[in-house]
Structures are given as structure tokens and as C-alpha cells.
Amino acid sequence: MKKFNLILETLSHQDIILGKIIDATKPIEYKNANNEFSSLVKIIIGQQLSGSAARNILNRVETLYGSKTFNPKNMFFISNEKLKLCGISDAKICYIKGLCKVILDNPNYFLNFKCMNENEILNNLCKIKGIGIWTASIFVMGTLNFENIFPYGDATLSKAIKRIYGEKKLLDSIICNWHPYKSYACRVLWQWVDKGMPKY
């Protein structure tokens, strides 16, 4: 918690406007996911969905699976029809089964990330069908705990940034002020939106 507060102080100093958002939001520290495969499956399920829609589908999948933690072998052999009844699209079922096969063929896939930098990890993830830069960035930020990630293409962040900084200011000129804690700045903005974008 002490580190989290120091990071928020650093961000407030580097970006006065973000500092006002932090004061208005009173953000809490996220609990990062700790199972790489499960986390990535859940992010794929949530692609291009609202938070509530993603949670509803995920709850049905977890009930079907019988656990909140997934295993690539077991997930691979769940029938497509059952996953579809949970609300997962055909395309996402294909992506999830493809991910299962990648991990089954290479059990050390996630372990190998320990020897890579963030760009190498992002590039490797994006080679898997159905995983683009947004999915890869959310995973690297929320599961691998990289602190300086910005998930380009995130609709909620785009909405928040335009609302706070205006339409005309260039995105990279804003987020460069959050280095080396872009991941934390994103979490602040997500929480600000979740709380109804309180006045600052």
C-alpha cells in the first residue's frame, strides 16, 4: 500500500490534472491476477464487451467449468456448444481453443516470459490468433505486473482522456507524463469512470 501511495503522489506531481482525478477518485489498489492462462482466457471473453456483460458470461463459464481457475487441457475439451450457450461467440471460442493448443504444445510458454522485456512479451502474445495489442497489454499489465503499460484501443480510457484533457490534445503527449507508471494511471482513470466520473 505504501508503494501504491507513493506512485499516486509521483503521478500527481508529474500530471497536475491527473492529480485532481486521483483526489476525486481516491483510487484503491488493484489485486492482480496470478494465473496466466485463466487471466488471458477471461480477457479474451471480455473483448469489446461492457464490464457487466463480460462478468455475466464469465460467471456462466465458471459455473460450467466448476472453478474460477481454468486449465488448458480441460478447457480445450469443453464442447463449443456448451461454451456458446454461456454467451461466448464462435470467434472467441476459436481464440480460446487456439490459446489452449499453444499452451499444451508449449507448457513453458508463460514461464519463458520471465526472460523477456515487455515489448517481446507483447509481440509474442500478438502472434496468437485473437490476441491483439489491447488484450496483450491488459494481460501484461494486470497479470505480469508491468507498471508502465498503456493499452491502446481501450474504449473506457479513450472516453476518460477526451473528457479530461479535451479532444485536440495528442494521446502520446498526455500519457508520456505518466512514465514510468502508465499502468497505474490507467487504473486511476478506470476507477474514475466506474465511480461515475466525479467532479475534480
Q: What is the pLDDT of residues 186-198, one digit of tens each?
A: 999 999 999 999 9
Position 50 pLDDT exceeds 90: no
CA 151 to chain centre: 8
pLDDT in tens, 146-164: 999 999 999 999 999 999 9
pLDDT value at 169 more than 90: no
pTM of the full predicted structure? 0.90
Q: pLDDT tens digits, residue range 92-105? A: 999 999 999 999 99
Distance CA 53, CA 55 (A): 5
Share of the chain above pLDDT 90, in %: 88
pLDDT, averaged across the chain = 94
Q: What is the DSSP string of the chain?
A: -HHHHHHHHHHHHH-HHHHHHHHHH----------HHHHHHHHHHTTTS-HHHHHHHHHHHHHHHTSSS--HHHHHTS-HHHHHHTT--HHHHHHHHHHHHHHHH-TTTTGGGGGS-HHHHHHHHTTSTT--HHHHHHHHHHTS--SS---TT-HHHHHHHHHHH-SSS-HHHHHGGGTT-HHHHHHHHHHHHHTT----
Q: CA 100, CA 59: separation in Å to the nearest integer?
A: 20
Fold (CATH) for 36-142: Endonuclease III; domain 1 (1.10.340)
Whether residue 167 is predicted with pLDDT greater than 90 in this model: the reply is: no
pLDDT at 143 over 90: yes
Greater confidence, 1 or 57?
57
The CATH T-level fold of domain 2-31+150-194 is: Endonuclease Iii, domain 2 (1.10.1670)
Positions of CATH 1.10.1670 in the chain: 2-31+150-194
Residues of the chain with CATH 1.10.340.30: 36-142
